[in-house]
A and B are shown apart, each in its own frame.
Chain A
């Protein structure tokens, strides 16, 4: 069996192969997909929603063979369904937030690095000033400004997290702007904006994937942190943050209310961190 030398492997397939070789990262991907599927499909398996109170079973203990497998809380709401519904909120905010922050950061950084000159120094000065702000304080203030709730939380988190991708992409864009193919594109009559979108941004993709994968756990953590403090998502809507908060309030009598949402959140964060590690090793093997 001669190895197939005829087909050279693309960078992307090499990177995919390197990622596939990292067993921990691959397992994490499967576990994460399973949790996502469970959160978004699981609640349909129950005849009630997470906000329906079952007055006959208030604070029911864990019993895997009853109607409420993980019991109910002190309002008689099913704990498992609430945790899964909370997961929908937390995961959706996590992935959409990281995506939005990433897109804003990439465009801002690419433009700044490509245009250069005074625009660049003005744009980067803004970023520097924002970096000087205490992050936690800013998120809390912004979510107050937008009146609390899911959308406010989302905007506040995105607003504070787009800075890092912007700085990273700018450095890359600066060096790309001097390359020949950008010169050629300009000679061919492309406008600045077209060059940014079609040439600069695609060349920063691997960098963005690596740092973007670190953004997701950060967003999820911010969401649950704010909801835990009572500033983010509020009852009766569930999120992992406020479920953990109400779990801590009753932990001396019933640890189950803390352990189920907390365990799931920790598991998701574990997976996301392992995946980010795997992606980093796959995309830039020098950065170890």
Chain B
């Protein structure tokens, strides 16, 4: 268990290093620089600004400087939001993104599994059809269409909830969380339904039933443990993707999270901010993948032997 985690963490660190280098050089190679879009300024001022951010140095030198800062936990200064360090910006945006991501994954997991259960236990009943319809809608209609439509109906037409922003407490959470959760509700309910149906036919379930164990205990103790495996395999990367996926949500609902900082930074060539947020996302992805494997091994002894 511990060597396994150590090995995965080491691999994750390598991936993160590759990601950092790739991002660094992609950003430097991309046309345009952080200060090339400003209004006309004299060459001396331009040179001074670039020197202040060490942009006049050779790229390899800049890279070394960046890695050195990274090892001390310093992500550098932002070139777009002057006077702020990337650490500050991430610290201010991350809680927003995490709050939305957390509630969305909670809603998606609970509602998705409940819908899948309803569909699998009463196949071809009305709950099954309702779950199927939600599934198809959630998978096929992208969130940047559903989001604006919900804003138009619930905020502009009915006036129940704010159109966007982050100042109205739980009321500003409802729409973003709902829209972010919807595609995942769709996937999770489909996955739960099909794996539950499969799991009900397995030998150990038949044995449990033959021994005379009640239907409720068979369902929760024998069917569900097997059926939830693919759902958990999906949930891990989905958690990371939800935090990344909030890029769109944060743009649609004008929320001050790191996803919006990222788009802004990428368009304005704010090298350090892009790097910082990329590394945060990469780190989340790696950690959630490792957690997923651990939970799967705990639920299913067969997986444990494989690793």
Query: Chain A residues in contact with chain B, CB under 8 A?
Result: 129, 132-137, 140-142, 144-145, 147, 217, 221, 224-225, 228-231, 244-245, 247-248, 251-252, 255, 258, 262, 265-266, 269-270, 273, 288
Residue of A nearest to B155 (CB): A252
Distance of B123 from chain A, by nearest CB (Å): 13
Contact A134 B244 (CB under 8 A): yes
Distance of A178 from chain B, by nearest CB (Å): 21
| Cα of A134 to Cα of B140 in the assembled complex, Å | 22
The main secondary structure of chain A at its interface with chain B is helix
Distance of A217 from chain B, by nearest CB (Å): 8
Contact B141 A266 (CB under 8 A): yes
Tell me which of A133, A141, A231, A258 contacts B27 (CB under 8 A): A141
Contacts of A266 in B (CB 8 A): 140-142, 145
Contacts of A135 in B (CB 8 A): 241, 244
A129-B15, A140-B263, A270-B140 known; A251+B282 contact, CB < 8 A: no
- 24 A-B pairs with C-beta separation under 8 A: A132-B286, A133-B15, A133-B19, A134-B244, A137-B262, A141-B30, A142-B26, A145-B26, A147-B31, A224-B142, A229-B247, A229-B251, A244-B148, A251-B148, A252-B152, A252-B156, A258-B149, A262-B145, A266-B141, A266-B142, A266-B145, A269-B141, A269-B142, A270-B140
Contact A137 B281 (CB under 8 A): yes
Q: B144 within 8 Å of A by Cβ?
A: yes
Residues in B29-62 with C-beta less than 8 Å from chain A:
29-31
Contacts of B97 in A (CB 8 A): none
| Cα of A249 to Cα of B267 in the assembled complex, Å | 19
Q: B173 within 8 Å of A by Cβ?
A: no
For A144, A147, A224, the residue with the greatest tally of chain B CB atoms inside 10 Å of its CB is A144
Distance of B1 from chain A, by nearest CB (Å): 22
| Cα of A269 to Cα of B30 in the assembled complex, Å | 32
Contacts of A144 in B (CB 8 A): 26-27, 30, 266
Contact B282 A273 (CB under 8 A): no
Query: Chain B residues in contact with chain A, CB under 8 A?
Result: 12, 14-16, 18-19, 22-23, 26-27, 29-31, 136, 139-142, 144-145, 148-149, 151-152, 156, 194, 240-241, 244-245, 247-248, 251-252, 262-263, 266-267, 274, 277-278, 281-282, 285-286, 289
Distance of B97 from chain A, by nearest CB (Å): 13
Distance of B104 from chain A, by nearest CB (Å): 16
Contacts of A258 in B (CB 8 A): 145, 148-149, 152
Contacts of B30 in A (CB 8 A): 141, 144-145, 147
Distance of B186 from chain A, by nearest CB (Å): 11
Contacts of A269 in B (CB 8 A): 140-142
Contact A132 B12 (CB under 8 A): yes
Residue of A nearest to B18 (CB): A129
Contact B266 A136 (CB under 8 A): no
Contacts of B244 in A (CB 8 A): 134-137
Tell me which of B16, B26, B248 contacts A228 (CB under 8 A): B248
Contact B148 A248 (CB under 8 A): yes
Contact A265 B142 (CB under 8 A): yes
Distance of B180 from chain A, by nearest CB (Å): 13
Contact B194 A134 (CB under 8 A): no
Distance of A245 from chain B, by nearest CB (Å): 8
Residue of B nearest to A258 (CB): B148
Distance of B108 from chain A, by nearest CB (Å): 18
Distance of B23 from chain A, by nearest CB (Å): 6
Contact A228 B266 (CB under 8 A): no
Contacts of A132 in B (CB 8 A): 12, 15-16, 18-19, 282, 285-286, 289
| Cα of A49 to Cα of B13 in the assembled complex, Å | 52
Contacts of B282 in A (CB 8 A): 132-134, 137
For A229, A245, A255, A265, the residue with the greatest tally of chain B CB atoms inside 10 Å of its CB is A229
| Cα of A252 to Cα of B154 in the assembled complex, Å | 12
Distance of B174 from chain A, by nearest CB (Å): 19
Residue of A nearest to B31 (CB): A147
| Closest 8 A/B residue pairs (Cβ) | A132-B15, A262-B145, A134-B281, A248-B148, A269-B140, A270-B140, A144-B30, A266-B141
